[in-house]
Amino acid sequence: SQQGEEDPQALSIQEGENATMNCSYKTSINNLQWYRQNSGRGLVHLILIRSNEREKHSGRLRVTLDTSKKSSSLLITASRAADTASYFCATDRGTGNQFYFGTGTSLTVIP
Amino acid sequence: DAMVIQNPRYQVTQFGKPVTLSCSQTLNHNVMYWYQQKSSQAPKLLFHYYDKDFNNEADTPDNFQSRRPNTSFCFLDIRSPGLGDAAMYLCATSRDLGVGEETQYFGPGTRLLVL
């Protein structure tokens, strides 16, 4: 399978703590994206990091990319109950408009 | 607001009875996708349209078909639904920028139940 693997599969933290989730993938990429999915809903794009970038920030989100290890991490700082969702990484297939989604991390933030 | 709309949100069908799921977009994106997502799993790409060009995934069963009559609409037809086809079906769009940085915009999904 070309899908990425994410760990942990599930993560439960207290509000205010930081949450870190990791994504590993198998093939060379042009970019890696992170998406969020609230229960029973569609996915929402969070952030894109290019293969020549090592770190990117967007608000409370920090994404890192290590192409030598074929891995990425998503850090959510100062988590809130509203951050409770599943988070998926997605890697391009080199064609620009097709993606492989990782297996996802289910995050629960306890108020 | 520009968006991706899926109807219905919930669809119940009978084993073997054809069913059609609908997706429309106001984003004027040239690429449209259909994904199948089973519980606690990653979205699995079934096929996508690049403008009018249909691109099927190699492992998508023949039972699944799609139509895109115009830029705005795309349909997923399941010819003979089986119990294993019960899932969330997600429609997504993207604008091909030609630079490998396309992001996808997802609809809310249609949850299909097969009885």
Interchain proximity B107–A42, CB inside 8 Å: yes
Q: Which residues of chain B, if any, have pLDDT below 50?
A: none
A101 inside 8 A of chain B by CB: yes
- The reported pLDDT for the residue numbered A40 is 84
Question: What gap in Å lies between CA B92 and CA B115, rounded to an integer?
Answer: 27
Tell me which residue in B6, B100, B104 faces A45 most closely, judged by beta carbons.
B104
Q: Report pLDDT digits (tens) over A21-76.
A: 999 998 888 889 999 999 888 899 999 999 999 999 999 999 999 999 999 999 99
Residues of chain B found within 8 Å of residue A30, distances taken between Cβ atoms: 100-101
Question: Taking Cα atoms as reference points, which of B14, B55, B8, B49 lies closest to residue B30?
Answer: B49
Which pLDDT does position A1 carry in this prediction? 46
Residue A107 half-sphere exposure, CB side, CA atoms within 13 Å?
32
Interface mutation target, options B102, B110, B112, B113, chain A, most CBs of A under 10 Å: B102
- Residue B25 has what pLDDT? 97
What confidence score (pLDDT) does residue A6 get?
87
B14 to each of A21, A55, B71, how far by Cα in Å? Answer: 39, 49, 30
